[in-house]
Structure 1
Amino acid sequence: MKSPRSSALQLLLLGLMALCIDAYKPVIIVHGILDGPKEFRNLTQFITSAHSGTRVKVIDLYNYKCSLMPMWKQVNRIRKEIRKEMQAAPDGIHLLCFSQGGLICRALLASTPEHNVHTFISLSSPLAGQFGETDYIKSIFHNIIKTNIFRACYNKLGQEVSICDYWKDPHQRPRYLESNNFLTLLDGEKPHSQLGAWRMNFLRIKKLVLIGGPDDGVITPWQSSQFGFYDIDENVIDMIDRDVYRNDTFGLKTLDHLGALFPCVLSGVKHVHWHKDHMVFRTCIQKWLI
């Protein structure tokens, strides 16, 4: 027969365990281009093993070829799904978004008033745009060289393909600004009436974690995962030297000055391995999911 003291101690330990489990905010994962939920089984297992009791949900929408649908269409539908998670978690949620999914999450945060996302983790995402010949690009555009892709993207029909919504040709800036109605709006390079509100919405997050690395092989330039991008001569301009940072058009500089921006750069990781590599999780992700 257990003593009253041991029973009380057991109840205390169970209570503390319950508090610890409840302390972990739900994690919502948004996948990238040409993949879907099943590719994130490893990452889900990493999270639940490290933080027992964490609710992890991978958005099961726009999977595989459907991920080529227009970005705003994806954002608006995924918002409805994530709103349900927000309403069920009054203490907030974390967004962990891979590749193209990072841009979907960025747009969702900007255009969703009163969201309760605590930490936005961008996992190897082309946050500043994409301009490079990769296997993904070749499969979509049938080996068209990168300097000609603007012809397919910078028109009304092209903007109905997701990757065209963030294809950023540094040699075709006037055409990009004229034709693009996604990344130009998020960056504030094309003025619009909601820009101020979007900035305030984006600044509701408490932490912005930017993960990427030089051996990615898909995100081009890889510094786009850290908000860097090419100038007209294809020299990489780091985040802090770009106009979108200096002018603080969507809150990036403010987050940095608040100490809420956390880059994590790792070498030796290929694009398709970021969400499967336990070292990446342990080094760049785990500590933020509390």
Structure 2
Amino acid sequence: MKLLRYGAPGHEKPGLLDSDGRIRDLSAHLHDIDGAALHPDSLARLADIDPATLPEVDAGTRLGPCVGNIGKMMCIGLNYSDHAAESNLPIPDHPILFMKANSAIVGPNDDVELPRDSKATDWEVELGVVIGTRAKYVTRDNALDHVAGYCIVNDVSERDFQTKLTGQWTKGKSCDTFGPTGPWVVTKDEVADPQALDLWLDVNGVRRQTGNTSKMIFDVATIIEHLSRLMTLHPGDVISTGTPPGVGMGIKPEPVYLKEGDVMELGITGLGTQRQRVVQG
């Protein structure tokens, strides 16, 4: 299934994408696409619904973040060896973790705002992992049992805020609109191997990022195992698993960063696409 949320910001309704690419309303069956809806029992009930019996939603309706009431958004840094190289940073011994404020999370096609005083706002296409059942001290062998599905995350980053404001990376990662998420959660039964997905991102029609999740330093199962030893993962939590090479910071001879009017388009195999226009915040 492809589960989504549609409607005005703060008033999104639950829905799904049918096999013909039409949005169907799930409001009669659940309140939201949140942690409770992502539990295996709930997903099984939703899978039994014939999409043709659900009301159709106008194709032009805004899509919101594909998970509502996200408990925490955890992000993994430098998780592709070639991205670490372009950043002139060593390959980490353990997954690098930072958090993205929930106030940064927006829909997949919402505008991305340049913060005031921004000089180095960058793009990062990433595979998002959506947790479906509570995970604490899990092993790599059973880690994927706790996954509800996968989505796209654009881990937008202000590099000066990230590296020059003293402190953790979170400063450059949590600005408003810096977490486009969606367009939908693709349940794990439709993703045969999360380590075999192509990722790409264009800026103004120019291909900037190309990668494959097979190049992750720490795969999805290892990340879940590691995080679950540090904190309990709850249904509806989202893990953004790192970005392949091609970020603006790594462009030679001079970095290229986002400016007002730019358009980012990005996608992952089987998970859909995003499109964001850059505006001044």
TM-score category (smaller protein)? under 0.3
Structure in which a larger fraction of residues adopt helix? 1
When normalised by structure 2's length, the TM-score is 0.26
When normalised by structure 1's length, the TM-score is 0.25
Structure in which a larger fraction of residues adopt strand? 2
Q: Which has the larger radius of gyration?
A: 1
Task: Flag the structure with more relative contact order, 1 or 2, with Cα contacts below 8 A and sequence separation at least 6.
Answer: 2
